[in-house]
Structure 1
Amino acid sequence: MQRLWNALHYSLAGLHAAFTCEDAFRQEALLATLLIPASFFLPVNGVGRALMIASVLLVLIVELLNSAIEAVVDRISLDRHPLSKRAKDIGSAAVFLSLANVLITWICILFG
């Protein structure tokens, strides 16, 4: 039980750190607070709603991972390095694809 309690504490600390230190995470969290409740007012079935919500939550998950990558890269060195740029660009691309996934998923479900 202690391990689970500690894991919960670390997870909440990570969410707090992301929300207080990462502008992109705050913006995407705001998007989630708008889109997730909106999904309950749209005329879609349960599976469609679940996919819509999952696509939004995926953005938050990917943004957390991207922020973690950026923090580690910055911790290693603030010097410009091609591998650091590549790591940060790939993380950014993952966030972009997750946002595109939200758009495609919602369009397919609402207009498909």
Structure 2
Amino acid sequence: MTKAAGTNSPPTNLQKQRRGLHRMLHATRYSLLGLRAAWGETAFRQEAIAALVLVPAAFWLGKSWIEVALLAGSVVLLMVVELLNTAVEAAIDRIGSEWHVLSGRAKDLGSAAVLLSLLLCMGIWGAAIYQRIVHG
């Protein structure tokens, strides 16, 4: 929020006042806190552990930099979508614990996004493995 005209109160979000390297350092700290919080989520933890295997495997399986980028990128994309889904769920849970159709829809849409990114990842990896087996 910005300072209202004619008031002496400071802005409520000090992050917006930071500039340059100072802002980047604080943003990095917040990002690391987010990753730490995400580690507490089972789905993200499973995907992160799978990424420890799959990203290096992408360099072995991919025959060009484009294939490596698609393989590794699909795994990272899945993790990004999982983080966004977790953020949506946290925001909805903060609003309240009572059931509401829009809250349910928001959570379902986030879950659907994770499912689509998982299917994309599996499709890319499946095609690459198939090509490797069939065409050596």
Category of TM-score, reference length = shorter chain: over 0.9
Indicate if the aligned counterparts of 2:61 and 2:128 stay in contact, CA closer than 8 A.
Answer: no
2:32 pairs with one of 4, 8, 12: 12
Q: Judging by fraction of residues, say which structure has more helix.
A: 1
Higher relative contact order (CA 8 A, sep 6+): 1
Gaps of 5+ in 1: none
* C-alpha RMSD over aligned residues: 1.2
The CA distance in 2 between the partners of 1:110 and 1:38, in whole Å, is 11
- Aligned partner of 1:106: which letter? W
Moved over 4 A (4+): none
Once the two structures are aligned, what percentage of the paired residues are identical?
A: 49
Q: How does 1:43-62 map to 2 (within 5 A)?
A: 44-62=63-81
1:109, distance to aligned residue in structure 2 (A): 3.0
**Structure of greater Rg:** 2
Aligned to 2:7: none
Aligned to 1:85: 104
Aligned to 2:82: 63
Indicate if the aligned counterparts of 1:44 and 1:110 stay in contact, CA closer than 8 A.
Answer: no
Structure 2 length normalisation: TM-score?
0.77
Indicate if the aligned counterparts of 1:44 and 1:109 stay in contact, CA closer than 8 A.
Answer: no
Indicate if the aligned counterparts of 1:73 and 1:84 stay in contact, CA closer than 8 A.
Answer: yes
Gaps of 5+ in 2: 1-20, 132-136
